[in-house]
Amino acid sequence: MNESRTDNFDALGRWSEALMNTYAPALDLISGNGAEVTAADGTVYLDLLAGIAVNSLGHAHPAVIEAVETQIRRFAHVSNLFASRPVVEVAEKLKQRFAHGDSDVADSTRVFFCNSGAEANEAAFKLARLTGRHRVLAAKHGFHGRTMGSLALTGQPDKRAAFEPLPGGVEFFPYGDIDYLRKMVEINAADTAAIILEPIQGETGVIPAPDGYLAAVRALCDEHGILFIADEVQTGVGRTGDFFAHAHEGILPDVVTMAKGLGAGLPIGACLAHGTAATLFGVGSHGTTFGGNPVSCAAASVVLDTIDEDFVAEVRAKGEHFTAAMKSVDGVTEVRGRGLMLGLVLDRPVAKEAVTVGLKHGVILNAPSDTVIRITPPLVITTEQLDVAAERIAAVLTDVWDSEKNTEG
């Protein structure tokens, strides 16, 4: 879209005077279409962030617009004191996706809707405590949210320190080390309620679990009657080339948390559980006013209908195509991840500079660490757009290297 703001509204300039100082926005965006967004000055950017892996179907998807408009003309909100069709339909679709074709699992699965990934993980945390056990084991460097409960599960001391003391009972293990985790469990297996981890750690720099690790965690949990909680907030909804990233190893967690791509840009989170874990909540034991909002569920229904097996196969192919293109780019030492959740590992700590320079080349990037550029574009991005993205990133890194050389000189 080649448009620009005509009313001279200075959103960037007025942002800091109106909002708390928790973000530092880089652009004033006014519209989007597919995998592109347009800034107030009319510049069009290729969006490789997708609202941090949120806009699964891209910007302004016509089916999402139609579903949301249809629902909001009926009603926007009635609370969970009343049932409504969009909420039930999305829950039923999620039950089927979670079960991977197993009718017994589908029958025993229940869904709790909320508004975000952090809230989904709060719900999972509470489920763990309702087992009657107290210990929850979480991965070092993992990220599960910024509310007090989800932050307690987050294995990043720099994010936790200012808010301690946090809810207790959480202990941290090295991600990917099954022997260490087994020893931790055996210290007090009888009081270990749950193990929570991400199939691919996102905020740390797109770090996949080692092959076989999820299956080993599943076996460990089965051995000791421990809940296996998979945080699929970022990895779920087709992002990694499977609808759920845990399916890559053919395992089934007891609990899965979701958000981000599920609502195609509208706020929605979900906590799915099957078997005994699905029965732990009772009336009044947990709740949220806006969870399962009918408008968000209308959007989620479109997402679930669109992201089928053919769609995720295309995501896998696109990820492989882009990975192959990036492996030949100077300065990129490794491409981590799967599908369209990828981390470009750089040979020097300039990822944050690359994000800034990227805007000059018309590409939106993200740097979860100094040496990693995270790639999480809309899943509808085309192969041709990915080729353009690869060319622009190569140009960005060339500019960053040249600037570094000039500074050193």
Average pLDDT over residues 229-253: 98
Residue 185 confidence (pLDDT) above 60: yes
Q: Check residue 4 and give its pLDDT.
A: 82
**Domain boundaries defined on the chain:** 11-56+309-408, 64-306
pTM, rounded to two decimals: 0.96
Q: Tell me: is residue 281 an annotated ligand-binding position.
A: no
Q: Which residues, other chains included, contact 92 with Cβ-Cβ below 8 Å and sequence gap of 6+?
A: none
Fold of 64-306: Aspartate Aminotransferase; domain 2 (3.40.640)
Q: Tell me: is residue 232 an annotated ligand-binding position.
A: yes
Residue 147 confidence (pLDDT) above 90: yes
Q: Tell me: is residue 143 an annotated ligand-binding position.
A: yes
Q: Which residues, other chains included, contact 34 with Cβ-Cβ below 8 Å and sequence gap of 6+?
A: 58, 59, 60, 378, 380, 381
State yes or no: cis peptide before 174, omega within 30 of 0.
no
Average pLDDT over residues 86-94: 98
Q: Tell me: is residue 85 an annotated ligand-binding position.
A: no
Average pLDDT over residues 130-137: 98
Tokens 């790639």 belong to residue = 375
Q: Tell me: is residue 202 an annotated ligand-binding position.
A: no
Q: Tell me: is residue 88 an annotated ligand-binding position.
A: no
Average pLDDT over residues 183-200: 98
User: Matching CATH topology for 11-56+309-408 and 64-306?
Assistant: no
Q: Do the strands 227-231 and 192-197 form a parallel or antiparallel pair, or are they unpaired? A: parallel
Q: Is 208 helix (H, G, I), strand (E, B) or coil?
A: strand
Residue of 327, 340, 343 lying closest to 386 (CA atoms): 340
Supply 84's token pair: 């409504």
Q: Tell me: is residue 146 an annotated ligand-binding position.
A: yes
> Distance (Å, rounded) from C-alpha 163 to C-alpha 183?
29
Residue 408 confidence (pLDDT) above 70: no
Residue 372, strand partner residues: 345, 369
Residue of 335, 334, 331 lying closest to 353 (CA atoms): 331
pLDDT digits (tens, 9 = 90+) for 350-388: 999 999 999 999 999 999 999 999 999 999 999 999 999
> Distance (Å, rounded) from C-alpha 248 to C-alpha 322?
20
Name the superfamily (CATH) of residues 11-56+309-408: Aspartate Aminotransferase, domain 1 (3.90.1150.10)
Exposed e or buried b per residue across 132-149, where buried means at least 16 C-beta atoms within 10 angstroms of its C-beta: ebebbbbbbbbbbbebeb
Q: Tell me: is residue 118 an annotated ligand-binding position.
A: yes
Q: Is 337 helix (H, G, I), strand (E, B) or coil?
A: strand
359 phi and psi angles, rounded to 5 deg: -60, -35
Tokens 């050389």 belong to residue = 405
Tell me, what amino acid is at 24?
A: A
